[in-house]
Structure 1
């Protein structure tokens, strides 16, 4: 009985992994800064801030 349940759970796991979308890589920091500056002209962000934010996000 447990063997059958274990096989079923493993099959579900394979199905779930196949349905998970792939993660797109982050854009380059300079590209993100340019997008931000285009939307918010008076933004005080600089390239160092954008790089720090991307580093934080990548480590999560």
Structure 2
């Protein structure tokens, strides 16, 4: 195994792609609450479909 005491990192020329982030319980609750007071239709991506987040969703329907 080689010991590296010093390395040099160069900037990337560019990155492309996407990242999938799993749903988050707190953000899902907030999205429902804020969507309930917003005008028009609210679209939420990666809504965490847990028992408590679905209960919040149904309470604000």
Report the TM-score when normalising by structure 2: 0.23
More contact order relative to length (CA 8 Å, sep ≥ 6): 2
Higher helix residue share: 1
Report the TM-score when normalising by structure 1: 0.23
